[in-house]
Amino acid sequence: MKRIICVLTAIFMLLAAVGCGGGEKKAETKKAEPVATKQAEAAPAPAAGGKKVLVAYFSWGGTTRNVAKLIQEKTGGDIFEIKTETPYPKDIQQTGELGKKEKADNVRPKLAGPMPDLKQYDVILLGYPIWWYIEPMAVKTFVEAQDLSGKTILPFATSGGSDIGSSVADLQKTLPKAQVKDGLLANSTGGIDGWLKDNGVMK
């Protein structure tokens, strides 16, 4: 596990050395009419703790996707992948540059496909890789697209070593009317069960 963290940290250090030039500014997203997720065509069945749970995640390389799937199994909730209309490059350095520029310019990349109707859910487990110390801008597009007042948001992230704290603070600032709880840095799976139990969403 230490070796994996070292490799991810090395990749991040490489990204940190990348300059800001060359990134493409994305268009502002329109607030698309929400529709039910494929996995929740009817009203979602209550999952853990009688709550209606959605696991919504963004992942570039697949690490966060794996954690999201594990969390879905453990909660019994629905799952939705946040994807950008224009996919990020396969090349990590290009994605690093683009992600850095999007953060600097505070853009909201347009998302692909129909959005789930978030009104249906009590709890949204929100997963993402840490990009330049916070959540990727596509995650902001997602959370700003609908009214999340009163919803419980449980952030989880994977990273090359950075903590989740700055992204949680940023989400709390972005969503003052939602209850954005302490997040879980899920670089190892060890803490997942305890965190889900503490938040009353373990099956």
Q: Which residues of this protein are in contact with ligand FMN, per CB under 6 A?
A: 8, 12, 15, 59-65, 92, 95-96, 99, 129-133, 158-162
Following CA atoms 8, 68, 142, 162 in sequence, which dihedral angle do they give, to the nearest 10 degrees?
-30
Q: Which residue lies nearer to ligand FMN by CB, 64 or 72?
A: 64
Q: Which residue lies nearer to ligand FMN by CB, 23 or 44?
A: 23
Smallest gap, in angstroms, from Cβ of residue 136 to ligand FMN? Answer: 7
Q: Which residue lies nearer to ligand FMN by CB, 48 or 56?
A: 56
Q: Which residue lies nearer to ligand FMN by CB, 18 or 36?
A: 18
Following CA atoms 4, 195, 35, 24 in sequence, which dihedral angle do they give, to the nearest 10 degrees?
-40
Phi, then psi, of 157 in degrees rounded to 5: -145, 160
Contact 155, 64 (CB under 8 A): no
Residue nearest to ligand FMN (CB): 61
Smallest gap, in angstroms, from Cβ of residue 102 to ligand FMN? Answer: 9
Q: CA-CA distance, 133 to 140, in Å (whole number)?
A: 14
